Structure formats: structure tokens, C-alpha cells
Structure 1
């Protein structure tokens, strides 16, 4: 495809320390399509082996990023080091494990991969669940602010809870129920496993359905097979469930039927606040023999120091990791993760060049944070949020990138988390200045805000957004663009086929990066601290830290 580079000069109005306004004529940011393309190719190459944490691929990736940040003129972000190291545990379950479900109609033996997926986060060589009663707990949500408790009146200690994915608002599209079509954190699989553990269950199985999960079963199979990483805790993660896992929706329907239950009717009942848990008249048994490897992994952190407000920080972030290699596969064994997220990582390098080559340094410091283990549950960003290298109250905002636009320029810009914070105002001004349109997340039911690294910062109170490419293609329109995206999710997302292609049109990514730079640069030259909007679940933490 022909690549169209749009050069846009922008006059931005910034607020100075004394409160007076001044106009700063920005130099065209140094963001180069050729350099972006070349770095994506390197990061997504077979040589980097899918960039799995704690692997030879990590070693190559983090040293490559260190080199690129040094070349851009950035300083180490962790004292005299470009790395923030953390302890990880890698647990690999034996894929020969068979899940047995005894029910009124007999016994089913499910094969690991196509018929169930399960793992443990406990740092033990074997976990075993034996004849554990299976209980359907609807969406598995306890949300006092919504008057909701799916566990009310049922004791699930030692049992296996079976849970619907997403939340009741998605199922009903009722805007008055949770947040309607938009997924809340209660709809995320991470929350559901955490809540089941708090309730004392031994195991939790989420029922997979493609629409509410937002990805096909192949993504479940690919993402949770092989080595699974966690942050290593002092209690060896014994506060987690014995078994966490998924079962396909068609099998769940069959299981409900054997118990004399109507799966569709019970799903409908589960969307009501007075839902009561139901026994499936079945027992689950599973033994997982695990290979345990404790290891280290690293976030890569580089900083461009500010001038008169250098103790305050803007964070640009993207995750460098992907799924590594699976030597059990025939043919291509490398999950190259070209779009997810070699593109965003290479974009971070471009932003570093843009800031470092600006005519004047920013007033506030700018941190470039390439985090590890996003694919394993946002672990690198979680570790940073729990062990910040600068005080959270001095962290003005975080701007995340995860999968850049490879299809060419769009008329719009998608903001994941739009409506949550005053960062919207900065986005709107920058987008309007270049003649584009701001669009909220077009698929809020997929829970994208809770699925990438900005969420780790949001959880601890830092205003954070994820700026994505738009969907209204300049030449081919919205329908065409969305079709390409759907095909990527169905065919390439979290699969070895997510590989670099010379046919990509990165001109749209370049436009988006220039926009992200201008948003960040404005924040880096102001005095103000944008906050969360009233009613947002993160505002209380921010207000408390800023007192």
C-alpha cells in the first residue's frame, strides 16, 4: 500500500507556572515511518523467539530497548539502571491431564486444550481437586454498589464454581444494569477467579462464549496453555484457587442438560439481582502436575528529565512481551506478536525520539515504560504500580499503547477509557487541531479498559488512558476497517500467524503517534493535574493521595 505521511504543525496553548497563557509553536515531532517499520520487524522476528518473559527472547528484547532508548538520548529510569527487575514464577501444567466430570448421565473425560483449559497459580508441584461439587453461581459477582451478590446464601468452600463470562449488563444491554453494554471490571476473568478464591472455592471454571468473551476458544487454548507466569508472593500464591480454568459453552450447555437444567433459561435468570446459585449435580476431578521455575523478568524504564517541574512525571507505556514459543506445535512454533505488541513497543521508541529531539525539553519529566508479562495478566505493570519508581502523587498521567494501526489513516481516534477522566479534554483538543474526531471505545462490552497495562496504574489512582487507532478509514470507510479487525481477532490474535507484513500501511500509526506525543507534551508542560471524573471508581484513591 502507498504510505501517506501527513505533516501537521500545531500551535498549542499551554499554561505557564505563573498562570499566564503562552503559545508554543511545536516542531514536527521526530516520528519516522521507516524507523518504526524497521524496529517492528526486529522485535517481531523469529530471532526474538516471541519475546516471552524470562527467556532468551526477553534478554534480546530488553537489551534492544535499552540500546534504542540510549540512542534517543534518554537516561536510566531506575537509578543508574534501565531495568526494573521482579520475581516471577513460571508454572507449566502437564498437558496430558484429563478433567473428569461425573454427572447424573455418566462420566465425561475432557482433554486439555480443545475440551477444557486449566492451570494453577499456586507454587506447588501438584494440585488436586477430587469429586468437587459443581455449583453454577451466575456471573460470580459480589458488587455492593450495584446491590449484587451471586454468592449470597450458598457455601462454596471446597467446591467448583461455574461462572458466566462478562457481566449482566452485556447480556441485557440494559443501561441501568451495571454499565449496560460496557463491561465493568466485574466482567473480567481476573476478577471472577479472585472472587471465587475469596469465597473459599477450590476451583472456578468460566464458561466460554465468543461474543461475551470477545475472542474465540482458540485464544483461550493458546493463551493458557504452556508456561503460565505470576508474580511470586511470600505465601507462594496459596491464596489463589487450586484450579482456575475455562470450559466451552457447548459443553456447559450439555452439562446443564444432564442435570435437568435449561442453560439458556438459567443465563437469563442470572441477569437478575435475586439470582440464587444452582447445583449442577456433578462433580469435577482434576490433578495438575506442574513444572515450576522461578525466574526474573524486567520492565524497561527510561526517562527524559524535565526542567522546572522535573519531580513530576508523564508516563508513556507499552508492553514488550508476547507468548514466546510452543515447541509442541507442528510447523510454526513462534508467537511473534507483531501487532501485539511489537508495534506499540516500537511506537514507544518513536515517542522517545520525538521528545528528545524537541526544540526545548519538557518542564515535567517523561518516563518511557516498556513493561513485561502483560500477556500473563498485566504482571509487569502491576509490579510497577505496587513498586513505583516515582511517587504516584507526582505521576500526572499514564498513556498506554497496545497494538498500533497497520491499515492506514483514519478520520477518528479511539480512546479506551474516554469519559473516565479529565484527560478527555487534552485528547479532544489535540484531535480537533488535526481535523480528526474522538471516538469512545466502540466495543466497550469487550472490557478493553481492563485488559491492558494502563489499568494497573488506574487501579492505584493515576489517571490513565489507552489511545487506540480509529476505525473510520480515510479511503475505505468504517465497515471495511472493522472487518479487517474482526479477521485479525479471529485468525491471528494470540496465534503464531501474528507476524510482520511488508504490506502494512503504517502511515496511520505515525499519525496516531504524533497525536499521542502532542497530548503528552501538553501535559508535560503544564502545572495542572488532571483528575478522574466524579463517579469513576478510581477517583477516591487519587483524591486521597493528592491531599
Structure 2
């Protein structure tokens, strides 16, 4: 369907009827088609609500956040979960303080020697994560599609000019900044994508309010701006060279003066934390998490066509968590099972990072964590890939659960390309064994098609193109994973807990 088409709506009465029909625990392995069809209908109903225009794209600090958290808390409480914040002053909802930076003004001027290079008006847009960023006559280097493999010495103090035309552009952008680039300018050749990115950036970005990592400066450059800056032939030759093996950053004999300012405000948002109490909590906990946020009104205007609804990313992950919660046994397992819906993932995994810094439970008590993100992509019967494979001690046990469930393993190396782009990365950095186990990340063509056509766009709506077969199978797989890792018998690894 066309971008921004209104999302389907389901009434609460229909949803509750579906839940009542599907609350029995699912057995491991070979579920009948009617059971999977019931789960698919349940997922579809939840996604339709969470990705509806009424939820306004689920942006942190907006009425859409309140609707989202209220809907999830009611669903999880009805499933038998209780508050997991372990904070009587903030049951269910753990506060997260964010700073909103909204672009104010910017100026970009380029020089070759003493001569200023004219660029078309509006062809360069600059943004700062702080109140003001200023670079005086810094050298510009063309890095093409390189970033993660570059040395800091190649970037320090330089303005990196990158191409925004490849699947790993987000990882490249972050790597360039992390490795010391003074600023990153992304050449976005597609005019429609450039407009969407600029519209979204105009709405502002978030950072944790007490974060002190320095202001970052970055920007967007149109294809016309790049041709004016480099010359049409030089831009074409550099773009071709960037695709060749062994390409290295190319100095441009160009300097730039860049300045950007932003307006700042504090935004109060929340993580949602729930739990199913275990019979032996001293043996640790299992954590399931998914981010609830998306971009809200991501284009100019306040009409439905301007909403980024985030149906696949990540209403589908939330729907999977709710489906799992409804099927857990009321008596629980040996270990506590925690459910976490994080805020502001889209702005740098901020909610997960806030949870890791001020956790509801000691991080070293978590024996296994499973992140769920962007799952409504793969059909039934496909393999499963693990984001984070090879980085934890969970792999062998996950393989056993996959085999017992009749699921084949997919390309874990491919799935690991998305490691730093999901909440699990924030927990891994604190030594919490965290993975994402998903059919979606094993279906390369379907995932890449989603990333190319709908990811972070108004086209990510709850329409007939969403595929839920693999997600329904993943519901049963996550039930099996919880059952395995929440049992002290099947997974005897014992976490450190207070009082030992």
C-alpha cells in the first residue's frame, strides 16, 4: 500500500475474545496450523492497535506514549504479570529523563584555498546533539562507504563525507563519529529519502539527560550539493572508486566551516517493567525485552499521512511479548521472568541504556535476555538466526531448544550485522547475556526489502503486506526458550544475587 495508509483498527472486545481463545500454553514442536493461525490473528490485532493513527507513532513524551504504555500495562496485567520495577514509588513505569534537542539554525561554508565553493541553498542540513557545535575550517575527507574498518588516525579532526546508499549506512555513520571524525556529512542521493530524513530530524532527537559524551555534529547533503562541492565528474569517480576493493579515504583539498545550534528541553518518558515471579528467585532471572517507541509525526504537518506508525518496527515485537506473557503458566518457573518495554530505542538505545545504568534487578542476576525487534517479516517454516551469536554462553542451549522445537538454524553471521542496532547491544556492554532469536533475521531478502522500502518510513503500517507466520512460530519458540532458561534444572547456571 502507499506510504502512510491508515492502519487497521481492532476493538478491545475483539482482542479480548482472541486472547480468551488462545491463552493455553503451547507445546514445543510442530504446532498445528490452526494454533498458529490463532496466534497470527492475535499478533495482528495487537499490532493494529499499537500501530494505529490513534497512537500517533508512539514518540516518547507525547500522548502516544501514554496510550502505548497504558495499553501494554493493561494487557500484561491481564496476562497475570505484576509490576517489576521493584520501586513502590514507580510501579510498572520506570522514569527515564531525556533531553530533546530540536534544530534551531545552521550554516555550512566550504572553501578550496581562499576561494569559497558555492553550494545550492538548502542542499546541506546540519544538526548538533548539544546546544551548539562549531568547526572552523576543518578538512573534508571522502570516505565513501567505509567507516567500521578505518583507523582513528584517518578521521581525527576531519569532516567525513560518506555515501548514504548502502545497507550498513547507520553502522558506518556511528563508527565514523566514534572513531573521532569532527563531523559526518551523509550524501543522500534519493530526494525522497532525503526529505524524509530531514523531516524526521526537524522534529528533534533525544539523549539521556545526564549524559556527558560531548555534542556531536552531523548533517545531510543532497546529490546536487555533492556535485556542486566536488564537481560532477569528481563526485562520480569517487563514488565508483568507493565500490572497489581496497578503497581508502580520499582527502579533497576542501575545508569547511560548520555551525549548528539547537533548542533544548527535558522530556520525561518511561520504561515499562513487569515480571512473573519465580519459585526460586535466588537462582536468577530471565528477561524478555522489546522497544515500544517509534518516530511519531515524522513528516511535516500533523495529519495521518505524516505519521510513522512503526507497525513492524516495533509494534510486532511488543505483540510477540504480549502473546508470550498470555501463555506463561500462572505458577511460574524456578526463576523470575521479567518483561521490559524500553523507550527511545530509535535514538540510540536510550531506554535500554537507562535500564542498564539503573536496573530494576541486579544485572548479574540475569541468566539470559532475549530482545525482540522487527519480527513481522518472515513466513512460516523458515530458519531462525541469532543476533549476538558467539558473544554469550547461551548458544549451545539455544541450539538445543531450536532442535527440540523443530526449527532450523539460519545464518547467524548475517544476523550479527544488526548487533549494534538493537537494544541487546546496550545490555551486552554490561555483560548481560543477551541475544535476539528471530526468523526475521534469517530471511535475508524479506528483511532487506523491509529495510529498503519501509524501515523508519511512513510506509511501516499495519496493512496486508505484514507477514506474521514466522512471528507466530517465534512466539512458541520464545515460550520454549523461557521454559528452558527459567528452569534451574534444564539451565543450571546460577546467577550472582544479593546476599550471597
Among 238, 255, 279, which residue is 1:263 paired with?
238
Matched, 1:420 2:391: yes
Matched residues in 2 for 1:530 and 1:183: separation?
36
1:344 is displaced (CA, Å) by 0.5
Alignment partner of 2:384: what SS? strand
The correspondence of residues 134-533 of structure 1 with structure 2, limited to 5 A, is 134-136=140-142, 149-151=151-153, 156=157, 160-162=158-160, 164=162, 187-196=171-180, 201=182, 203-206=183-186, 220-221=197-198, 224-233=201-210, 235=212, 239-241=214-216, 243-247=217-221, 255-256=229-230, 263=238, 267=242, 271=246, 279-310=251-282, 312-326=284-298, 328-329=300-301, 332-357=305-330, 360-406=331-377, 408-441=379-412, 443=414, 447-470=417-440, 482=445, 484-502=446-464, 504-526=466-488, 528=491
| 2:109/2:116 contact within 8 Å kept | no
| 1:396/1:529 contact within 8 Å kept | no
Residue by residue over 1:281-306, the C-alpha shift from the partner in whole angstroms, topping out at 9 and shown as x without a partner, is 22323443423221111110001111
Matched, 1:102 2:111: yes
Most deviating of 487-496 and 368-377: 487-496
Provide the residue aligned with 1:119 in structure 2: 127
Taking structure 1 as reference, are residues 255 and 63 closer, same or farther at Cα in structure 2, changes over 3 Å only?
Answer: same
The correspondence of residues 56-135 of structure 1 with structure 2, limited to 5 A, is 56-79=63-86, 80=88, 81-94=91-104, 97=106, 99-103=108-112, 107-109=117-119, 115-122=123-130, 124=131, 126-135=132-141
More helix, by proportion: 2
Matched residues in 2 for 1:384 and 1:439: separation?
30
Structure-1-length-normalised TM-score: 0.73
Residue by residue over 1:76-117, the C-alpha shift from the partner in whole angstroms, topping out at 9 and shown as x without a partner, is 1112311111110111114x74533334685233555xx445
Among 29, 49, 54, which residue is 1:47 paired with?
54
1:426 is displaced (CA, Å) by 2.5
Matched, 1:33 2:40: yes
Among 22, 25, 28, which residue is 1:10 paired with?
28
1:496 is displaced (CA, Å) by 1.2
Residue by residue over 1:331-388, the C-alpha shift from the partner in whole angstroms, topping out at 9 and shown as x without a partner, is 611111111111101111111112244xx41101111010010111111111112222
| 1:100/1:284 contact within 8 Å kept | yes
Matched residues in 1 for 2:492 and 2:223: separation?
46
Alignment partner of 2:97: what SS? strand
> Cα RMSD over matched residues?
4.0
| 1:406/1:504 contact within 8 Å kept | yes
| 1:304/1:356 contact within 8 Å kept | no
Alignment partner of 1:54: what SS? coil
Structure-2-length-normalised TM-score: 0.79
Structure 2 regions of 5+ residues with no counterpart? 1-21, 30-34
Matched residues in 1 for 2:440 and 2:296: separation?
29
Structure 1 regions of 5+ residues with no counterpart? 12-27, 172-181, 473-477, 532-541
| 1:321/1:372 contact within 8 Å kept | yes
Provide the residue aligned with 1:18 in structure 2: none
Taking structure 1 as reference, are residues 338 and 363 closer, same or farther at Cα in structure 2, changes over 3 Å only?
Answer: same
Residue by residue over 1:111-168, the C-alpha shift from the partner in whole angstroms, topping out at 9 and shown as x without a partner, is 55xx44532111x2x444444332456888698xxxx73416x862xxx4215579xx
1:530 is displaced (CA, Å) by 6.7
Most deviating of 316-325 and 433-442: 433-442
| 1:135/1:279 contact within 8 Å kept | yes
